Amino acid sequence: MNTLSLPKHSTMLSKNFVYGVATAAFQIEGGVNDRLPCIWDTFCGEPNNIVDNSNGDVACDHYNKWLEDIELISSLGVDAYRLSISWPRVMTASGKLNQTGVNFYINILDELKKRNIKAFVTLYHWDLPQYIEDIGGWLNRQTAYKFQEYTDLISKAFGDRVYSYATLNEPFCSAYLGYEVGIHAPGKKGRENGKKAAHHLLLAHGLAMEVLNKNSPRSLNGIVLNFTPAYAVDDKVENIEAAKFADDYFNQWYVKPLFDGQYPEILQQLPESCHPDIHSDDMKIISHPIDFLGINFYTRMVYRATPDDFFEEIPPEGKLTDIGWEIYPQAFTQLLTSLNNLYELPPIYITENGAAIADKIIDNEVNDLDRIDYYQKHLFAANQAIVQGVDVHGYFAWSLMDNFEWAEGYLKRFGIVYVDYQTQVRTIKASGVAYKNLISDRK
């Protein structure tokens, strides 16, 4: 199939439902000489961190091609564009705004407004200024306050140009992948780090929410979390318990504090050395009300019990995407309905969903039927959740275009637009056309 469809009476077919495409600064911008270094520059510069030894120096050259890229976004007929702001581009090391960097985004935001495209801005999509990492990064509580200052200045500078602010993208990835297992920047390892970094990230979120609600009360202000639902390999009690622990460790850890003002109970089972340093008002700050919750979903994970640890991950089987992630759309519906049962949720936006496919460009066409199939199944799964009562207001495809896929470099393509990195030519894939048609066919 090369089309996307939804059940006839789906609310996802209404014009009010927001469709968008998403990107992140480090993954597309390049323009490295016009900003300060970030942790990903440093990480890419160290051997064996990035599969193809690449970096973000040029990426999709969006820093120079931004206007053309907005024309491309506009040609897809989407309602919204989710982008992130590069903190090291807009702030100096002495804590002032860098006006050149600010203007870069103001031009983008103005152009989006002109074209009636809602700007969904993420303030932190993993590119921490290196000078902040040099004083401990997210392991240093002060970083949360630095993030609040950056949020304060940038939200004032942007004025009323932004439709929605997300404080952080996927704090799980920053904390766990970056500071606990070290496969993302800054590449720190140690079980004792993960929950400490996570606490400072969540604190940063709460502190930023206070500022956003003051400076930008009319925008939708919230956070974007990723979820990889945890399944037990079978019905054995120990395996079910292992999966539950993994779910608390990876997923609930980031969402429960937002709505319940508490970490999951497994905190008590973690060694003292792993406990975050929680100050008296922290949980109150972290649970500041949010206007929306952004949810990123790609895959699920299967677990079993092991004598050596709290749980063990089982390598995925079944149908996988090019990045090795299992295609399991029913987990998407289950995730949304279970979150809806567990918490008093604000409106939900699916802020990322998509698939890496080994695309081939032939005669200027990319016939990415497997990606269309992935989108089709996940749009249906989201619709199922809506039918079951989940208040989903929007959906963003990850990604607008192929880009720097972190530790995988440029080898994994997630775009609905193909990027030739030699020429920087963009070609809309069959999935891009299908997405555009789905959006334009709404009543």
- Which residues are identified as catalytic? 170, 352
Question: Minimum distance from CB of 193 to ligand FCB (Å)?
Answer: 19
For ligand FCB, the closer CB: 24 or 305 = 24
- Quote the least distance from Cβ 21 to ligand FCB, whole Å: 13
Interface with ligand FCB in residues 104-143 (CB under 6 A): none
Q: Which is nearer to ligand FCB, 27 or 334 (CB)?
A: 27
Letters for 166-205 (x = contact with ligand FCB by CB under 6 A, - = none) are ---xx--x--------------------------------
Using DSSP, state whether 51 is helix, strand or coil: coil
- Contact mark string toward ligand FCB, 255..294, x via CB under 6 A: ----------------------------------------
The answer to whether 405 contacts ligand FCB (rule: CB under 6 A) is: yes
* 22 or 78: CB nearest ligand FCB: 22
Contact pick of 124, 165, 398, 435 for ligand FCB (by CB under 6 A) = 398
Nearer to ligand FCB, 145 or 325 (CB): 325
Question: Restricting to residues 288-327, which ones interact with ligand FCB according to CB under 6 A?
Answer: 296
The binder of ligand FCB chosen from 176, 406, 410, 418 (CB under 6 A): 406
Report the distance separating Cα 221 and Cα 213, nearest Å: 7
Question: In angstroms, what is the C-alpha Rg of the chain?
Answer: 21
Nearer to ligand FCB, 66 or 398 (CB): 398
Q: Are 331 and 385 in contact (CB under 8 A)?
A: no
In this complex, which beta carbon is closest to ligand FCB, that of residue 84 or of residue 287?
84
3-class secondary structure, 422: coil
Size of the site for ligand FCB (CB under 6 A): 12
Give the residue ranges of DSSP H helices in 78-221.
87-90, 99-114, 130-133, 142-158, 171-172, 191-215
Q: Which is nearer to ligand FCB, 126 or 303 (CB)?
A: 126
User: Residues 323, 266: contact at Cβ < 8 Å?
Assistant: no
The three-state secondary structure class of 425 is strand
| Closest approach of ligand FCB to the CB of residue 295, in Å | 11
Q: Which of 29, 247, 248, 352 binds ligand FCB (CB under 6 A)?
A: 352
Q: Are 211 and 152 in contact (CB under 8 A)?
A: yes
Binding window for ligand FCB (CB under 6 A); candidates: 1-9, 165-173, 378-386, 387-395:
165-173
Nearest-approach distance from CB 168 to ligand FCB, in angstroms? 10
Which residue number is nearest to ligand FCB in terms of Cβ? 24
Closest CB 399 distance from ligand FCB, rounded Å: 7
**255 contacts: CB under 8 Å, gap ≥ 6:** 225, 227, 293, 339, 343
Nearest to 19 by CA among 395, 434, 350, 376: 395
Buried b (16+ CB within 10 A) or exposed e, 377-394: bbbbbbbbbbeeebebbb
The H or E element that residue 124 is part of is strand 118-124
Q: Which amino acid is at 332?
A: F
Separation between Cα atoms, residue 86 and residue 105, nearest integer Å? 9
List beta partners, residue 22: 82, 398
At closest approach, how far in Å is the CB of 35 from ligand FCB?
18
Between 24 and 348, whose beta carbon lies closer to ligand FCB? 24
CB 19 within 8 A of CB 393: no
- In a 10 Å sphere around its CB, with 0-12 CB exposed, 13-18 middle and 19+ buried, how is residue 202 labelled? buried
Give yes or no for a cis peptide into 289 (omega within 30° of 0). no
The total number of residues written for the chain in this structure: 443
Q: CB of residue 27 vs ligand FCB: minimum separation in angstroms? A: 6
CB–CB of 25/123 below 8 Å? no
Q: Which two tokens stand for residue 359?
A: 């695309």
Q: How far is the CB of 194 from ligand FCB (least distance, A)?
A: 16
Residues that bind ligand FCB in the complex, under the rule CB under 6 A = 24, 27, 169-170, 173, 226, 296, 352, 398, 405-406, 414
